[in-house]
Amino acid sequence: MPPPKRSTPLQRSSHPERAQPPPPSREKTGWSRGALCRRVGKDEHCAFTYADFNNGEGISIITTPARIVLLGSQTPLAPFPETDNTEDKTPPSFDTIPSSYRDVAIPNKGIGLVATQPIRADRRIMARTPAVMVDDRAFKGLRRDDLALLLGQAILALPDAHRSRFLNLSIAHDEAASEGGKTGMELIYNIFTNNAFKTTVTLRKIDEQGGGAAASSSEADFQSTFTEVSRLNHDCSPNLGYYFDSATLSHKVYAARDIMPGEELTVSYVDVLQPRATRARLLNTTWHFPCACARCGHGLPNTNDDTHLPLESDARTDQIRSLLRSLDDYTTPSAHTPEKAELLITLYELEGLQVRIYEAYYRAALEWNGVGDAVRATRYARLCLAKGLVLRGPDRPFVRSIQALVQDARAHWSWRFRVKD
């Protein structure tokens, strides 16, 4: 796909009714602000840019001035204090991982990433920071042209290299067809919406009296675009898993299974446990492509949508959902629950759902503990931890719970919970 045309120059003069306080001084804070802001209810949203972020990669964030002050006061966005000699000035680590992939044109999929060497399961493939983040309240509340205007300012203010990588990302196929008539801002809007996904950031309010300790924290949702991550195409049995690490504002991507050189690297854009028809509908309406992966019945010799292989895949997925419902009901007496959990593991493996296999290990750990078998429970708990930590990150309640089980199975809430005393 040819790179979208560069954006048209954006209007920079401020409307008197929307007069803004002067933007924060870049020298002092590291942040600059676009000249025009837009309101959602009482809240004014503006495009803020921190060009030096992550060794000059740069980042733009569309949000309220209050939120940018909060975000900009904590790592990794806080600029380093110039005067305090006692502080550790080591920049936050954004891991430069040697590339084990390259971008390639893939028939009917645009550009994708392909492994150039064998990649072992659980290996980290990338850790990248966003080009642009949009506060969910702005994303949902702003009119399309107002959001396009702020996005235009956000992208124009990025350092050249990051901006041009953003402008080379794909736009939806039906949008591509009418690309000629679009303004720069509309193109930027289309690139953003075709490549953005939800990222949840923990905002810590710092207690000045308490020596900088976090007084309270809350979560804020953003829609974010990451230039390299956005090259990953979809598969319903993806070979990569990912999570957003709020502490470093980075998107971490790991191999969910062993990957051979030449294999395309894929993630899932949708919930892989949904029925085939639901997955296909979502992919079509949101990303405008027909599902062509093996679980959807394509890419297999002599098959089409109605043959036994995709039907069998749907039946197994259905059984996974039903086993999860039954195992997660702790109130009604249930028989053979460890066996059901082990069947669940087999079904995840048959469906190529290594990206979610920790869910099955988690149930197996709880169920063996629930019938008082600490050895088997700990074995599955360790498997759950090994996969859960790389595929979902350390800050998940299930990870903390399973760490407690590994420490002491008999002290865990699930010890003998299925056994009537």
Ligand X SMILES: C[S@@+](CC[C@H](N)C(=O)[O-])C[C@H]1O[C@@H](n2cnc3c(N)ncnc32)[C@H](O)[C@@H]1O
Q: Which is nearer to ligand X, 195 or 337 (CB)?
A: 195
- The amino acid occupying position 25 is S
Q: Which is nearer to ligand X, 293 or 365 (CB)?
A: 293
Residues 6+ apart with CB under 8 A from 367: 327, 337, 338, 340, 341, 418
Minimal distance, residue 103 CB to ligand X, in Å? 8
Minimal distance, residue 230 CB to ligand X, in Å? 5
CA distance 113 to 398: 31
Beta carbons within 10 angstroms of residue 185's beta carbon = 21
- Residue 288 within binding range of ligand X, rule CB under 6 A: yes
Q: Which of 172, 206, 324, 404 binds ligand X (CB under 6 A)?
A: 172
Beta carbons within 10 angstroms of residue 43's beta carbon = 17
Is residue 32 within 8 A of residue 51, CB to CB? The reply is yes
- Residue 289 within binding range of ligand X, rule CB under 6 A: yes
**Residues 176-235 contacting ligand X, CB under 6 A:** 194-195, 230-231, 233-234
- Residue 108 within binding range of ligand X, rule CB under 6 A: yes
**Structure tokens, 376:** 């088997």
Piece in contact with ligand X (CB under 6 A), picked from 43-51, 106-114, 273-281, 410-418:
106-114
Piece in contact with ligand X (CB under 6 A), picked from 7-15, 89-97, 105-113, 125-133:
105-113
Whose CA is closest to 77, among 250, 223, 249? 249
Minimal distance, residue 294 CB to ligand X, in Å? 11
Q: Which is nearer to ligand X, 104 or 374 (CB)?
A: 104
Q: Which is nearer to ligand X, 293 or 385 (CB)?
A: 293
**Structure tokens, 68:** 């940018």
Residues 6+ apart with CB under 8 A from 294: 236, 237, 300, 309, 352
CA distance 5 to 155: 13
- Residue 292 within binding range of ligand X, rule CB under 6 A: yes
**Structure tokens, 179:** 């690309």
Q: Which is nearer to ligand X, 23 or 110 (CB)?
A: 110
- Residue 298 within binding range of ligand X, rule CB under 6 A: no
Residues that bind ligand X (CB under 6 A): 1, 108-112, 169-170, 172-173, 194-195, 230-231, 233-234, 287-289, 292
